A = this chain, B = another copy of it.
Protein backbone atom coordinates (compact mmCIF):
# COMPACT_ATOMS: atom_id res chain seq x y z
CA UNK A 1 0.00 0.00 0.00
CA UNK A 2 1.37 3.34 -1.07
CA UNK A 3 1.78 5.47 2.03
CA UNK A 4 4.04 8.20 0.70
CA UNK A 5 2.84 11.76 0.65
CA UNK A 6 3.83 12.77 -2.85
CA UNK A 7 2.27 12.08 -6.23
CA UNK A 8 5.47 12.54 -8.18
CA UNK A 9 4.27 11.50 -11.61
CA UNK A 10 0.90 13.24 -11.51
CA UNK A 11 1.13 16.37 -13.67
CA UNK A 12 -1.80 18.05 -11.97
CA UNK A 13 -2.26 20.98 -9.64
CA UNK A 14 -4.63 18.92 -7.53
CA UNK A 15 -1.83 16.44 -6.84
CA UNK A 16 0.46 19.29 -5.77
CA UNK A 17 -2.29 20.68 -3.52
CA UNK A 18 -2.82 17.29 -1.92
CA UNK A 19 0.89 16.86 -1.29
CA UNK A 20 0.69 20.03 0.82
CA UNK A 21 -2.60 19.50 2.61
CA UNK A 22 -3.68 15.90 1.99
CA UNK A 23 -2.18 14.30 5.07
CA UNK A 24 -4.58 13.13 7.73
CA UNK A 25 -5.48 15.98 10.17
CA UNK A 26 -3.80 18.73 8.13
CA UNK A 27 -7.01 20.30 6.80
CA UNK A 28 -8.61 20.15 10.23
CA UNK A 29 -5.60 21.96 11.68
CA UNK A 30 -5.91 24.66 9.00
CA UNK A 31 -9.67 24.90 9.62
CA UNK A 32 -8.92 25.59 13.30
CA UNK A 33 -6.42 28.27 12.28
CA UNK A 34 -9.12 29.94 10.16
CA UNK A 35 -11.32 29.84 13.26
CA UNK A 36 -8.65 31.70 15.23
CA UNK A 37 -6.99 28.84 17.10
CA UNK A 38 -3.28 29.62 17.36
CA UNK A 39 -1.70 27.68 20.21
CA UNK A 40 -0.44 24.11 20.24
CA UNK A 41 -2.41 23.23 23.40
CA UNK A 42 -5.63 24.62 21.96
CA UNK A 43 -5.21 22.70 18.71
CA UNK A 44 -4.47 19.54 20.66
CA UNK A 45 -7.53 19.91 22.91
CA UNK A 46 -9.84 20.64 20.02
CA UNK A 47 -8.56 17.94 17.68
CA UNK A 48 -7.81 15.13 20.16
CA UNK A 49 -4.65 14.17 18.35
CA UNK A 50 -1.39 13.00 19.80
CA UNK A 51 1.37 15.51 20.47
CA UNK A 52 3.60 13.63 18.02
CA UNK A 53 1.19 13.86 15.10
CA UNK A 54 0.33 17.50 15.79
CA UNK A 55 4.02 18.42 16.09
CA UNK A 56 4.80 16.70 12.80
CA UNK A 57 1.88 18.28 10.93
CA UNK A 58 2.61 21.80 12.24
CA UNK A 59 6.25 21.45 11.35
CA UNK A 60 5.36 20.35 7.79
CA UNK A 61 2.90 23.25 7.45
CA UNK A 62 5.59 25.72 8.54
CA UNK A 63 8.11 24.12 6.15
CA UNK A 64 5.73 24.34 3.20
CA UNK A 65 4.97 27.97 3.95
CA UNK A 66 1.36 27.58 5.04
CA UNK A 67 1.82 28.46 8.70
CA UNK A 68 4.04 30.99 10.41
CA UNK A 69 5.24 30.43 13.92
CA UNK A 70 5.93 33.31 16.27
CA UNK A 71 6.96 33.32 19.90
CA UNK A 72 8.85 30.72 21.89
CA UNK A 73 8.61 27.01 22.35
CA UNK A 74 5.98 27.08 25.10
CA UNK A 75 3.93 30.08 24.05
CA UNK A 76 4.33 29.98 20.30
CA UNK A 77 1.48 30.97 18.04
CA UNK A 78 0.72 29.60 14.59
CA UNK A 79 -0.94 31.83 12.04
CA UNK A 80 -1.93 31.23 8.44
CA UNK A 81 0.23 32.70 5.68
CA UNK A 82 -1.28 34.38 2.61
CA UNK A 83 -0.84 31.11 0.71
CA UNK A 84 -2.90 29.28 3.31
CA UNK A 85 -5.58 31.97 3.43
CA UNK A 86 -5.93 31.48 -0.34
CA UNK A 87 -7.12 27.96 0.46
CA UNK A 88 -10.35 29.33 1.95
CA UNK A 89 -12.62 28.78 -1.08
CA UNK A 90 -11.65 25.09 -1.15
CA UNK A 91 -12.07 24.76 2.62
CA UNK A 92 -15.48 26.43 2.52
CA UNK A 93 -16.63 24.27 -0.43
CA UNK A 94 -15.57 21.10 1.42
CA UNK A 95 -17.41 22.18 4.58
CA UNK A 96 -20.56 22.91 2.54
CA UNK A 97 -20.32 19.58 0.73
CA UNK A 98 -19.92 17.71 4.01
CA UNK A 99 -22.91 19.58 5.37
CA UNK A 100 -25.19 18.69 2.47
CA UNK A 101 -24.49 15.01 2.95
CA UNK A 102 -24.02 14.55 6.68
CA UNK A 103 -25.83 17.31 8.49
CA UNK A 104 -29.55 16.54 8.18
CA UNK A 105 -30.47 19.05 10.88
CA UNK A 106 -28.85 21.84 8.89
CA UNK A 107 -25.42 23.47 9.04
CA UNK A 108 -23.29 23.02 12.13
CA UNK A 109 -21.79 26.43 11.52
CA UNK A 110 -23.26 29.42 9.72
CA UNK A 111 -21.02 31.86 7.85
CA UNK A 112 -22.17 35.42 7.37
CA UNK A 113 -20.71 38.46 5.66
CA UNK A 114 -20.04 40.66 8.67
CA UNK A 115 -20.41 44.08 7.00
CA UNK A 116 -23.70 43.10 5.30
CA UNK A 117 -24.94 41.01 8.25
CA UNK A 118 -26.09 38.45 5.68
CA UNK A 119 -25.51 34.69 5.66
CA UNK A 120 -23.48 33.73 2.62
CA UNK A 121 -24.72 31.22 0.04
CA UNK A 122 -23.29 27.75 -0.61
CA UNK A 123 -21.40 29.27 -3.55
CA UNK A 124 -19.61 31.57 -1.09
CA UNK A 125 -21.41 34.65 -2.41
CA UNK A 126 -23.02 37.26 -0.17
CA UNK A 127 -26.63 37.67 -1.34
CA UNK A 128 -26.64 41.32 -0.25
CA UNK A 129 -23.51 42.74 -1.89
CA UNK A 130 -22.95 39.99 -4.50
CA UNK A 131 -19.25 39.60 -3.71
CA UNK A 132 -17.47 36.46 -2.53
CA UNK A 133 -16.12 37.83 0.77
CA UNK A 134 -12.59 36.88 1.85
CA UNK A 135 -12.42 34.84 5.07
CA UNK A 136 -11.42 37.87 7.15
CA UNK A 137 -14.85 39.39 6.48
CA UNK A 138 -16.76 36.30 7.56
CA UNK A 139 -18.38 35.69 10.91
CA UNK A 140 -19.17 32.18 12.15
CA UNK A 141 -21.81 31.13 14.62
CA UNK A 142 -23.29 27.73 15.55
CA UNK A 143 -26.10 26.56 13.28
CA UNK A 144 -29.08 24.25 13.88
CA UNK A 145 -26.89 21.19 13.18
CA UNK A 146 -24.46 21.99 16.00
CA UNK A 147 -24.64 19.65 18.97
CA UNK A 148 -23.05 21.30 22.03
CA UNK A 149 -23.16 17.98 23.91
CA UNK A 150 -20.51 16.43 21.63
CA UNK A 151 -17.57 18.49 22.82
CA UNK A 152 -16.79 20.57 25.88
CA UNK A 153 -13.13 21.46 25.37
CA UNK A 154 -12.29 25.18 25.81
CA UNK A 155 -11.94 25.77 22.05
CA UNK A 156 -15.37 24.29 21.29
CA UNK A 157 -16.85 26.43 24.08
CA UNK A 158 -15.20 29.60 22.75
CA UNK A 159 -16.55 28.84 19.27
CA UNK A 160 -20.13 28.93 20.56
CA UNK A 161 -20.06 32.73 20.45
CA UNK A 162 -20.13 34.48 17.07
CA UNK A 163 -16.57 35.01 15.87
CA UNK A 164 -14.82 36.72 12.98
CA UNK A 165 -12.58 34.28 11.10
CA UNK A 166 -8.81 34.75 11.44
CA UNK A 167 -9.17 36.78 14.66
CA UNK A 168 -7.42 35.13 17.62
CA UNK A 169 -9.90 33.04 19.60
CA UNK A 170 -10.04 33.93 23.32
CA UNK A 171 -9.76 30.49 24.92
CA UNK A 172 -10.65 30.36 28.64
CA UNK A 173 -8.80 27.84 30.82
Contact = CB atoms under 8 A, between A and B. Distances in A.
Interface of A: 1-3, 5, 7, 9-18, 20, 22, 24-25, 27-28, 31, 47-50, 52-53, 83, 86-87, 89-103, 107-109, 123-124, 132, 145-147, 150-151, 156
B49 A14 contact: no
A100 B13 CA distance: 9
Identical chains bound together, number: 2
Nearest to A47: B10
- Which of the listed residues A3, A87, A91, A93 has the most CB atoms from chain B within 10 Å of its own CB? A93
Contacts of A108: 11-13
A24 B47 contact: no
A95 B14 contact: yes
19 contacts: A2-B25, A2-B50, A11-B146, A11-B151, A13-B95, A13-B97, A13-B102, A13-B109, A14-B27, A14-B28, A14-B31, A14-B95, A15-B28, A17-B94, A17-B98, A17-B102, A86-B101, A87-B97, A90-B97
